[in-house]
Amino acid sequence: MNSRQTIQEIIAKKKKGERIVMLTAYDYPLAKIIDQCGIDIILVGDSLANVVLGLKSTREVGMEVMLHHTKAVNRGVEHALLVGDMPYEAYQIKPEFAVKNAKRFVEEAGCNAVKLEWFDRCLDVAQDIIRAGIPVMGHVGLTPQNAERLGGMKLQGKDASSAQKIIDNAQALEKVGCFSIVLECIPDKIAEIITRKLKIPTIGIGAGPACDGQVLVTHDLLGLFDWYQPKFAKQYVKLNEIIGKAVTQFREEVRHKDFPSAQYTFTIKPQEFKKFKINK
Ligand code: KIV
């Protein structure tokens, strides 16, 4: 825990021109693997709802489930900054509970910061959480918790006025003290303008190469979730195929009585076994 990246180190990377690398994790083994690869920030994203729980909307995941997974991730993270994604119910239904819920991510689940998606009372909520001493990462552009209102899981900021709103929102989040901002699914040139205007780092997902860092949903990167694949979700490996092969091989070995072979079997010494038979 003590050797985790700090907020100051993350911000300093922008000044030094070093790219920030962020990934999601939802459980202990993947968190440990990702952390040991030297990833800067691990986000327990509410994308958990889609890629782990098979739910349609991220709104369907609540505080208890997010905390349950975040605690598991926390046990696997030594070096990365750990960010908890505040679920919709934690701050958008009753913003007055936002600080209490943000504190639960830090005190119960070991997070170093929380992330909030933009909504109409986002600035007040972010400010309250920051004043309570908890660092906040903002999130503008496509904000899946309000995807329905944004016309679905689509590119945002396509026209000048909506692009301007995204730029204004990002600047306002910086002003209230956010330490970084996720830019999701916006045109590259708009992301570039935001990145230039802000002193805090921008972390893009579907926002082009000019951002100060990049984030992907780990299950997309690993090819574990290919039922819905946005254009920006680069698949670095097809783990679904590799897992499918292994499971099929196991099925066949069991059916053909090839598994377990001697290598995977425990034995008892013959003299002991003899006694056992005699006693019987
Ligand atoms: O929930 C999530 O995984 C996210 C990332 C896409 C940034 O918010």
- Give the tens place of pLDDT for each residue, 34-55: 999 999 999 999 999 999 999 9
* pLDDT score of 227: 80
User: What spacing in Å lies between the alpha carbon of 45 and ligand 1's midpoint?
Assistant: 5
CB 39 within 8 A of CB 22: yes
Asked if 198 and 175 touch (Cβ cutoff 8 Å), the reply is no
Q: Report the atom number in ligand 1 closest to the C-alpha of 47.
A: 1
Residue for token pair 């913003």: 95
CA dihedral 93, 172, 205, 154 (to 10 degrees): 60
φ and ψ at 50, to 5 degrees? Answer: -80, -55
Which has the higher per-residue pLDDT, 115 or 271? Answer: 115
Q: How confident is the model at residue 95, as a pLDDT?
A: 96
Distances (CA, A) of 143 to 62, 164, 279: 16, 16, 70
State how far the Cα of 63 lies from the Cα of 102, in Å rounded to an integer: 10
Q: What residue owns the CA closest to ligand 1's atom 2? A: 45
Q: Are the C-beta atoms of 45 and 83 separated by less than 8 Å?
A: no
pTM of the model: 0.96
Cα of 225 to ligand 1 centre, how many Å? 14
Count Cα neighbours of 57 within 13 Å in the Cβ-side half-sphere.
Answer: 12
Q: What angle do CA 50, 139, 228 make, to 5 degrees?
A: 25
With a cut of 60, say whether residue 275 has pLDDT above it.
Answer: yes
Distance 263 CA to ligand 1 centre (A): 43
- Domain ranges in the chain are 7-237, 242-279
Nearest atom in ligand 1 to the alpha carbon of residue 217 is 3
194-251 pLDDT, tens per residue? 999 999 999 999 999 999 999 999 999 999 987 878 899 999 999 999 999 999 999 9
How far apart CA 38 and CA 42 sit, in angstroms, is 10
Nearest CA to ligand 1 atom 5: 45
Given this model, what pLDDT does residue 229 score?
Answer: 84
Of 1-5, 151-155, 270-274, least confident by mean pLDDT is 1-5
- Can you tell me which atom of ligand 1 is nearest the CA of 216? 6
Active-site positions? 184
Residues 4, 77 contacting (CB under 8 angstroms): yes
Segment 53-63, tens digit of pLDDT = 999 999 999 99
Residue range 7-237 in CATH 3.20.20.60: yes
Phi, psi of 249 (to 5 degrees): -65, -40
In the structure, which protein residues have their CB atom closer than 6 angstroms to any atom of ligand 1?
24, 43, 45-47, 85, 182, 205, 215, 217
End-to-end alpha carbon distance in the chain: 56
